[in-house]
Structure 1
Amino acid sequence: MSEALTLNHDDLLDASGLNCPEPVMMLHNKVRDLSPGGLLKVIATDPSTRRDIPKFCVFLGHELLGQAEEDGTYLYWIRKKAD
């Protein structure tokens, strides 16, 4: 997971202050616009994202490269699947 913390991301989704289901809805739209193989960094404050974002990745075939928590903020690095 520490490798993900140093990766340069192609796009950023800041879903801070939003509650379920908004972060995942925003993530779905953001990933759709990302190039195949692109790396997205997600910032969220809703604890339910710890469950929802990994499930989102598995369901849609994206790769969750890492996740971290810092003082109530949840960080995720998601690689969009190649088409």
Structure 2
Amino acid sequence: MILNLIGLRCPEPIMVIRKTIRNIKKNEKILVLSDDPATKRDIPNFCYFMEHQLLKHEITIKPYRFLLKKGL
């Protein structure tokens, strides 16, 4: 699943990710695209605190890309 969050600003990207991740099954993956600099910090923190996995991220060029795997 690809989640295009380009144009959204903090806190909207995390709110959309949280809502989306609730509606998928455990171990499913989401590719998140974002251009908000705050997501470079917010998405890894979200994954850590919500016990999801950040499998891969590319934050050197926009759009930033984050590959998340749903945990608990």
- Into which bin does the TM-score normalised by the smaller protein fall? over 0.9
SS at match of 2:21: helix
Task: Answer yes or no: is 1:57 the counterpart of 2:32.
Answer: no
Q: What is the CA distance between 1:12 and its match in structure 2?
A: 1.4
* Structure 1 vs Structure 2 CA RMSD: 1.1
Report the equivalent of 1:71: 61
The total of aligned residue pairs comes to 72
CA distance in 2 between partners of 1:43 and 1:36 (Å): 21
In the superposition, the TM-score normalised over structure 2's length comes to: 0.93
CA distance in 2 between partners of 1:58 and 1:74 (Å): 18
User: Runs of 5+ in structure 1 lacking a partner?
Assistant: 1-10
**Greater than 3 Å deviation, 4+ residue runs:** none
CA distance in 2 between partners of 1:15 and 1:30 (Å): 12
User: Runs of 5+ in structure 2 lacking a partner?
Assistant: none
Tell which structure's C-alpha radius of gyration is larger.
1
Task: Answer yes or no: is 1:38 the counterpart of 2:17.
Answer: no
